[in-house]
Amino acid sequence: TAKRLRVLVTRRWPEAAEHYLTERYEVTLNAEDAPMSPARLAQAFDEYDVICPTVSDKIDADIIGAAPRLTRLLANFGVGFDHIDIAACKAANVAVTNTPGVLTDATADLAMALILTAARRTGEGERELRDGRWSGWRPTHLMGRSLSGKTLGLVGFGRIAQATAHRAHHGFGMNILYYSRSAAAPDVERGLGANRMATLEELLRRSDVVSLHVPGGAETSNMIGAKEIAAMKPGAILVNTARGGVIDHDALAAALKSGALSAAGLDVYPAEPVVPASLLGLENVVLLPHLGSATVETREAMGLRAAANVNAFASGSPLPDRIA
Ligand code: 8YV
């Protein structure tokens, strides 16, 4: 019988997805379910044919090393891959796949949750109530902002941005603007009532709510800094479900403190699990612990999608979600 592939799964997945993989391959699960040390990850490249990493594994050129290593495939559990040095993978002849599509709805739902929480101040309200500070109903208590008729500006216009646009436009009556390197097809724009802006500055200037949907990494590092925040409408809301490095958080904290922005909603941070200290003391920012894709259904689907790429690799077929 053919040698079974040795597969390392760096974090614990939902049971059904682990079961699917362990039935087919020689799988090692990380019992502690804690991030692996760089040394352990580097060693794994000599021990496993396939590694299934997550966002909590930083796989840089030092870890990948020079060829020849045993590992030939990184089947990433997640769609974003800025934690993996793609150029180093290519140089070392290591293929990389991700899990697009299966987490689109869950992440768009969470973007809406952040928009609603920020606009309606529900986090502030719950903290007040639980702290015993609620003194009763009054006409001007914790007034937020309505979404209906307001403009949502999307930075990046991929799958998750479009799913967010769908919810905001058809569910909440928002107007949609987007900024992206490439234009969406006319029928997609029509279906979402979306208008493309020629510059980021114009999008920021015209939007009541701005939601970020660009990939992380060097190209988008600090894309939203002091200058961009200053271009936003007074009292606008900024939401991020993409990657933390896209925002300059010192500039964001200053704008939230001064009231230049009324609120923000964040699910991602530049050096997780560290949360910028300047934000922790502010009432008008919603801070979530990277929950974008965290539903039972979605996390299971992500594991099965990573497994589908392992299957293709095992049978020598083209990898369905190959990114390198
Ligand atoms: C995951 C994500 O939770 O897919 C992504 O890019 O950020 C989240 O869905 C995480 O990356 C899993 O590795």
Write down how long the chain is: 324
243 part of the active site: yes
**pLDDT tens digits, residue range 279-300?**
999 999 999 999 999 999 999 9
Q: Give CA–CA dist 128/141, Å, rounded.
A: 11
| 110 and 194 assigned to the same domain | yes
| Residue 1 is assigned to a structural domain of this protein | no
| 89 and 172 assigned to the same domain | no
| 110 and 97 assigned to the same domain | no
- 105: nearest Cα among 298, 240, 320, 265: 298
pLDDT of residue 1: 45
| Residue 324 is assigned to a structural domain of this protein | no
| Residue 197 is assigned to a structural domain of this protein | yes
- Check if the beta carbon of residue 263 is closer than 8 Å to that of residue 286: yes
| 282 and 271 assigned to the same domain | yes
| Residue 155 is assigned to a structural domain of this protein | yes
**pLDDT tens digits, residue range 206-232?**
999 999 999 999 999 999 999 999 999
| 169 and 214 assigned to the same domain | yes
| 86 and 55 assigned to the same domain | yes
| Residue 207 is assigned to a structural domain of this protein | yes
ipTM over 0.85: yes
| 267 and 124 assigned to the same domain | yes
| Residue 164 is assigned to a structural domain of this protein | yes
- With the most atoms of ligand 1 within 8 angstroms of its CB, the residue from 103, 110, 246 to mutate is 103
Cα 274 to ligand 1 centroid, rounded to whole Å: 17
Q: How many CB atoms lie within 10 A of CB 30?
A: 14
| 309 and 242 assigned to the same domain | no
Place of tokens 């986090």: 123
| 241 and 270 assigned to the same domain | yes
Please state the atom number of ligand 1 nearest to the C-alpha of residue 294. 3
Helix pair 104-120, 296-314: axis angle to 10 deg: 150
The token pair that represents 283 in the structure block: 């009432």
| Summary mean pLDDT of the chain | 97
Number of domains in the chain: 2
- pLDDT of 38 > 70? The answer is yes
- Check if the beta carbon of residue 285 is closer than 8 Å to that of residue 266: yes
- Residues 11, 15, 18: CA angle, nearest 5 degrees: 60
The token pair that represents 204 in the structure block: 């920021």
The token pair that represents 269 in the structure block: 């941070």
pLDDT of residue 66: 80
Please state the atom number of ligand 1 nearest to the C-alpha of residue 80. 6
Q: Give CA–CA dist 220/216, Å, rounded.
A: 6
| 44 and 151 assigned to the same domain | no
| Residue 116 is assigned to a structural domain of this protein | yes
Pocket of ligand 1 (CB under 6 A): 54-55, 77-80, 103, 292-293
Domain that residue 275 falls in:
104-287
Q: Give CA–CA dist 207/186, Å, rounded.
A: 21
Q: Give CA–CA dist 75/90, Å, rounded.
A: 14
What CATH number has the domain bearing residue 37?
A: 3.40.50.720
- pLDDT of 3 > 80? The answer is no
| 86 and 108 assigned to the same domain | no
| Residue 234 is assigned to a structural domain of this protein | yes
The token pair that represents 278 in the structure block: 């300047």
Q: Give CA–CA dist 226/256, Å, rounded.
A: 12
**pLDDT tens digits, residue range 49-68?**
999 999 999 999 999 998 78
| 97 and 109 assigned to the same domain | no
**pLDDT tens digits, residue range 68-102?**
889 999 999 999 999 999 999 999 999 999 999 99
166 part of the active site: no
Please state the atom number of ligand 1 nearest to the C-alpha of residue 268. 7
